[in-house]
Homo-oligomer: A and B are copies of this chain.
């Protein structure tokens, strides 16, 4: 099981100046590769906080994706925080410097622009074709730390065009299947016993119920999902449907 976490950085997110548009995209992309999201964190631009969580999450995650803090502003510190947290020096990366010079056209490179070319030693720079700040992929004891810009269009472009393929090459792809059903004329408390039993009988399958919104009283949403071979899943799904039928609960496809 490939486990990943996402760290969205930026005071503007926590101050509600900007609504995050990054977590769901990343989480959804990696979920569709069959990977399991461990934690999603939104953190201020605080060296201490980001460093603390990085060190904690690196212990049992295969991939940590950070967004934000790669630009030329004084508080764009993601790379220097990664460097400090894991004692990997920042080095002027010539590839990254070329990328930045291209992004700014013929303009002079000042110290703030050059800052973006200092990346943790051994990291691979990722080209930002539609902005200025390169991203990085850093292999740290088999955990990949991937830093991408916070501007959603740049993050998405770089993920789709460069990062996703590298991730699949390294970590592979697992089949993830999910089915959602609506259970009518019931409520969670009435089917909790059935759910408890199903979980015991089919431990490889993920089963969860959720209450609907106010307008949907009497309707429960049932999610059944699985990582692995589709035929195995469909077989088990049939057995689960029969269990519900026997208890007179109808699984409706939404």
Binding site for B on A (CB under 8 A): 11-20, 23-24, 27-28, 31, 36-44, 49, 71-76, 104, 110, 112-113, 130-133, 149-154, 178, 180, 187-190, 192-193, 195-196, 199, 206, 208-215, 223, 225
User: In the docked arrangement, what's the CA distance between A112 and B186, Å?
Assistant: 13
**B contact residues around A199 at 8 Å (CB):** 74
User: In the docked arrangement, what's the CA distance between A28 and B12, Å?
Assistant: 12
Contact B214 A153 (CB under 8 A): yes
Contact B223 A189 (CB under 8 A): no
Contact A14 B27 (CB under 8 A): yes
Contact B189 A154 (CB under 8 A): no
Other than the given A74-B196, A132-B211, 17 more pairs (CB < 8 A) read A11-B206, A12-B208, A14-B27, A15-B225, A16-B28, A17-B180, A20-B24, A37-B44, A40-B41, A41-B41, A72-B192, A74-B195, A74-B199, A113-B189, A132-B187, A150-B210, A152-B213
**B contact residues around A149 at 8 Å (CB):** 211
Q: Which residue of B lies closest to A18 (CB)?
A: B210
Q: Which residue of B lies closest to A217 (CB)?
A: B131
Taking a contact as CB atoms closer than 8 A, the residue among B11, B151, B153, B215 that contacts A208 in the complex is B11
Can you tell how many copies of this chain the complex includes?
2
User: In the docked arrangement, what's the CA distance between A135 and B63, Å?
Assistant: 35
**B contact residues around A104 at 8 Å (CB):** 187
Q: Which residue of B lies closest to A212 (CB)?
A: B151
Taking a contact as CB atoms closer than 8 A, the residue among B12, B14, B20, B154 that contacts A210 in the complex is B12
**B contact residues around A208 at 8 Å (CB):** 11-12, 73, 75
Contact A130 B11 (CB under 8 A): no
User: In the docked arrangement, what's the CA distance between A20 and B20, Å?
Assistant: 11
Contact B31 A15 (CB under 8 A): yes
User: In the docked arrangement, what's the CA distance between A31 and B17, Å?
Assistant: 10
Contact A12 B223 (CB under 8 A): yes
Q: Which residue of B lies closest to A130 (CB)?
A: B214
Q: Which residue of B lies closest to A70 (CB)?
A: B211
**B contact residues around A23 at 8 Å (CB):** 42
Taking a contact as CB atoms closer than 8 A, the residue among B24, B37, B154, B213 that contacts A153 in the complex is B213
User: In the docked arrangement, what's the CA distance between A13 and B133, Å?
Assistant: 30
Contact A110 B190 (CB under 8 A): yes
Contact A42 B40 (CB under 8 A): yes
